[in-house]
Amino acid sequence: MADADAPYHHGNLREALLARAEDVLATAGADSLSLRALARDLGVSHAAPGRHFRDRQALLDALAVGGFTRLNARLRAAVDEPGPVTARLARMGRAYVGFAVAHAPLLSLMFTAKHADDSSAELRELGHRSLDIAAELISLAQQEGVVRAGDPARLAQVSFSVVHGLAALAVGSLLDDTPLEEATDLALDVLLAGLGPVGPEPRS
């Protein structure tokens, strides 16, 4: 085992710990994570991770921060790609579903950490940024007349509930024989239709 004072021979120990922790999270769950086990896996002393994470909770929080940073980057890239605003909304929905399905244990950890009573300001801000990105695009769509009036943040929250629910069904293998891509397209079609402008009430 490596000496605690020796330089980490694989490079950046903090990033290596996070990468290994995410692998363990994906395969064995959060309960299997410990700094001592990660140190053993990486061939360093059991004290070495303490230089970067004061305890297990600090490691979990760092995983959540990294997850939200990556998710927000994906959503921002989808939103910033040129095209009609409705196409950009659909791309954002697909980006969320793709991330949520590919990183389901991490996403669960992210939301758990965000809503903890002692969550950091950084974590809460990153957690809200996804909603802000969606609300900004919905606000633009309202200005263009392709999305109904209403609080953009509230509409964004409901929209996320649709794509998050779809991802949860996919992760739980509850879509039966419907391919995820097909289910995603249909869900987004229904969502965008529901977000569309409300017409006049029919006459009785």
Instruction: State the residue for tokens 């609300």.
Output: 135
Contact 85, 137 (CB under 8 A): yes
Confidence (pTM): 0.89
- Is the predicted pLDDT of residue 93 greater than 90, yes or no? yes
Q: Is the pLDDT of residue 202 over 70?
A: no
Long-range contacts of 189-196 (CB under 8 A, 24+ apart): 190/162, 191/93, 191/159, 191/162, 191/163, 192/86, 192/89, 192/90, 195/89, 195/138, 195/141, 195/147, 195/148, 195/155, 195/159, 196/146, 196/147, 196/148
pLDDT mean over 128-146: 97
- Of the listed ranges 41-45, 67-71, 86-90, 147-151, the one predicted with least confidence: 41-45
pLDDT digits (tens, 9 = 90+) for 3-32: 444 444 556 999 999 999 999 999 999 999
Residues 6 or more apart in contact with residue 175 via CB below 8 angstroms: 169, 183
Q: Which domains does the chain have, with CATH numbers?
A: 1-53 (1.10.10), 56-195 (1.10.357.10)
Report residue 170's pLDDT band, with 50, 70 and 90 as the boundaries.
Answer: very high
Tell me which residue of 39, 37, 12 sits closest to 27, measured CA to CA.
37
Task: Give the rounded percent of residues in the chain with a pLDDT score beyond 90.
Answer: 88
Distances (CA, A) of 173 to 106, 166, 176, 179, 187: 18, 11, 7, 11, 17
